[in-house]
Amino acid sequence: MAIDDLLDEHEQGERVRSWLRNNALGIIGGVALGIAAIYGWRWWGDHQAQQRQQAHSTYAEAIKQLDAGAVDKAGALLAGQQGTYATLASLRVAKAQVEAGKLDEAITTLRGIQAEPALQPLVNERLAQVLNASGKPEDALKLLEGDTGSAGLELRGDALLASGKRDEARDAYAKALAATDVASPARRRVELKLQEAGGEIPAPAEAI
């Protein structure tokens, strides 16, 4: 027979009370921590929701200013902002600056974007495009290091060609073409660039 079966109710009650006295501080602390964790989680959720709402409001106002032609005001609204909304809006600001011929301002805008990792390659490619257009291909090449996507390879080819490195540009265009889907509207553009760099368009694979 187990020892607990031999204890009468009084002895069992005394053991429970003794255990509670010895562990009271730990129990109270654990309860307090649990309550604090619940309220902390709720506060964090509310804070995040408020941040998202604020980011969306800033994005909407920036787009409104862009549509009104107030590019500088839109840029000022987005200064120092982070997150997806701010990145997308800043890309539109940079596009408007390029269309207005303000390439240096577009470069500043793009360099100032604090993008999430998923959007950083897109920001880098836009910046490389503007750098190429600004006569700064070496800066574009540094920015595109490690980019093996079709767009990045095409821009790398542009930078290499502008730097007088025709053979390397041809190789970059060939790789960009190989990475471009056959149905992509960009494919014809890459083919033309490859030909201009002295390359040949590979013959289409025969259907089996």
Sign of CA dihedral 164, 170, 192, 150: negative
pLDDT tens by residue, 4-27 = 554 455 565 666 667 667 776 666
Give the global pTM: 0.67
- 163 backbone φψ class: left, alpha, beta (φ>0; ψ -120 to 50): alpha
pLDDT tens by residue, 151-175 = 999 999 999 999 999 999 999 999 9
pLDDT of amino acid 124: 95
pLDDT tens by residue, 172-188 = 999 999 999 989 999 99
Eight-class DSSP state of 102: -
Residue 82: strand, helix, or coil:
strand
